[in-house]
């Protein structure tokens, strides 16, 4: 990849500071000013791909983003251009939420709440093959068990990891299950080296040791996978890759080596598999219909399979520590809020159709996302213990 220009570095640095909640008041005002300059004619809307590119061109022309002089002109490579488009889109989303937040400070009272409700954290329950249940949290490096030549431990970052201590001795029929509660998430390194991130209220069941023919797991909720490429020798003596299969209630996802996200929460009308890179085959367990996904595409599996272009940044925002909402109905936003903050929500059904744009770190307390919603002056919120009551703004 070509080196970053000064303009790109400045943009990315400020976005990262915003993610870490480290922006100064002046930097927040600067983000707001950029939004007003570049997207002042697009309030409350989600920019199209064409608009995103136009916004990025406007950013490059802006005197606030003067690039460091370089020798000669060069074109952005495709991978850099994709990041640039994403960055421009994030500027739009960040500034929208920043402007709404500034508006809320000036023109309304704070959301009524008696206690600070903290975000979810790194916690889960591991169920071993013999039924033993072990609570996992932010604990330091620790050996949890040794099952037939496979050690199970947490590393210094609290990641659950499986390692073969006696290769070839592990029983193939032993199954473990990792489950996260509402308000929890967890990362695991599977016996083959594949990685998985579990969102709140999710589970992943897997063998302690995979066979040489297939690697198969079962899941509920939402899980992001990075699959390791594993090879074995076939009957003809040739080297072949061992497939990895993910099973949910309504679909199977077969992969060879790739990064993808599976959302199988039952509260949604269809399960969604989003491919970040590689190739996967999605099969409906009801009809047998199957489709092959290419990168940046999404399969929605309900009565059939529908393929559409994916909003990858939105889809995997949870894994990267953020909420991103792009013209999202309040009903879907609240589903994510209740799972991550472990709260209950009540609201009149018509209010669930109101749509919002915004971006909030999942590390922020509940009040941060409620303030973003309330600042639109479309709804009024009240928090009583761990219950959110939403009413029409009057």
Tell me: do 151 and 266 sit in the same domain: yes
- Which range, 34-48, 100-114, 134-148, 269-283, has the best average confidence (pLDDT)? 269-283
pLDDT of residue 4: 38
The last residue of one of the domains, among 266, 292, 314, is 314
Which residue range is the domain that position 66 belongs to?
6-107
Q: Look at residue 113 and tell me if it is in a domain.
A: no
Cβ 260 vs Cβ 225: under 8 Å = yes
Identify whether residues 128 and 230 lie together within a single domain: yes
Verify that 103 and 127 share a domain, yes or no. no
- Flag whether 355 is in a domain: yes
Query: What is the chain's mean pLDDT, rounded?
Result: 78
And the tokens for 259? 């990064």
Q: In this structure, are 70 and 205 located in the same domain?
A: no
Give the residue carrying structure tokens 């018509």: 350
In a domain, 115, yes or no: no
Residue appearing with tokens 């709804």: 379
**What is the DSSP track for 119-166?**
PPEE-EEEE-TTS-EEEESS--SEEEEEETTEEEEE-TT--EEEEESS
At 347, which CATH number? 3.55.50.30
Question: Can you tell me the mean pLDDT for 184-190?
Answer: 96
pLDDT for residue 74: 27
* Same domain as 221, residue 137: yes
Domain ends where: 74, 107, 140? 107
pLDDT band at 118 (very low <50, low <70, confident <90, very high): very high
Q: Are residues 56 and 149 in the same domain?
A: no
Tell me the two tokens of residue 142: 């620790």
- Per residue in 307-353, pLDDT (tens digit) is 999 999 899 999 989 998 888 999 999 999 999 999 999 999 999 99
In the predicted model, is pLDDT for residue 85 greater than 80?
A: no
**Does residue 108 surpass a pLDDT of 70?**
no
Highest mean pLDDT among 55-59, 162-166, 212-216, 222-226: 222-226
Mean pLDDT lowest for which of 159-173, 198-212, 238-252?
Answer: 159-173
Whether residue 114 is contained in a domain is answered as no
Q: How many domains does the chain have?
A: 3
Q: Which helix (DSSP H) or strand (DSSP E) does residue 344 occupy?
A: strand 344-346
Is 253 domain-assigned?
yes
Domain boundary among 314, 330, 365: 314
Residues pairing with 314 in the sheet: none
The band of 171, judged by pLDDT with boundaries at 50, 70 and 90, is: low
Q: How confident is the model at residue 97 (pLDDT cuts 50, 70, 90)?
A: very low
Domain co-membership, 310 together with 325: no
């Amino acid at each position: 990849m070509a080196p970053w220009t000064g303009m790109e570095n400045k943009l990315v640095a400020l976005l990262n500071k915003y993610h870490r909640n480290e922006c100064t008041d002046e930097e927040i005002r600067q983000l707001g000013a950029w939004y007003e300059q570049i997207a002042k004619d697009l309030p409350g809307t989600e920019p199209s791909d064409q608009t995103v590119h136009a916004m990025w061109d406007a950013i490059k022309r802006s005197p606030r983003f003067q690039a460091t002089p370089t020798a000669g002109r060069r074109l952005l490579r495709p991978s850099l251009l994709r990041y640039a488009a994403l960055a421009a889109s994030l500027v739009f989303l960040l500034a929208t939420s920043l402007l709404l937040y500034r508006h809320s400070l000036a023109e309304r009272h704070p959301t009524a709440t008696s206690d600070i409700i903290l975000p979810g954290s790194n916690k889960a329950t591991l169920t071993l093959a013999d039924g033993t249940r072990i609570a996992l949290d932010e604990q330091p490096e620790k050996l949890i068990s040794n099952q037939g030549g496979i050690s199970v431990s947490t590393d210094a970052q609290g990641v659950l990891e499986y390692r073969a201590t006696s290769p070839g001795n592990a029983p193939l029929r032993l199954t473990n299950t990792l489950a996260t509660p509402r308000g929890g998430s967890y990362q695991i390194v599977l016996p083959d080296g594949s990685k998985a991130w579990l969102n709140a209220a999710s589970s992943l069941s897997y063998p302690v040791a995979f066979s040489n023919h297939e690697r198969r797991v079962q899941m509920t909720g939402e899980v992001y996978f990075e699959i390791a490429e594993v090879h074995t020798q076939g009957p003809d003596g040739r080297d072949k890759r061992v497939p990895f299969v993910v099973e949910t209630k309504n679909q199977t996802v077969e992969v060879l080596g790739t990064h993808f996200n599976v959302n199988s929460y039952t509260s949604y009308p269809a399960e969604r598999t989003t491919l970040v890179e590689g190739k996967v085959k999605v099969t409906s367990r009801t009809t047998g219909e199957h489709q092959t996904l290419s990168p940046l595409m999404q399969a929605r599996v309900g009565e059939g399979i529908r393929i559409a272009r994916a909003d990858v940044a939105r889809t995997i925002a949870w894994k990267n520590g953020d909420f991103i909402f792009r013209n999202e109905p309040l009903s879907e936003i609240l589903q994510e809020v209740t799972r991550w903050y472990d709260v209950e929500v009540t609201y009149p059904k018509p209010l669930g159709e109101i749509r919002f744009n915004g971006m909030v770190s999942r590390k922020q307390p509940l009040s941060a996302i409620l303030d973003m919603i309330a600042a639109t002056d479309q709804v009024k919120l009240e928090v009583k213990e761990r219950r959110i009551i939403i009413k029409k703004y009057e």
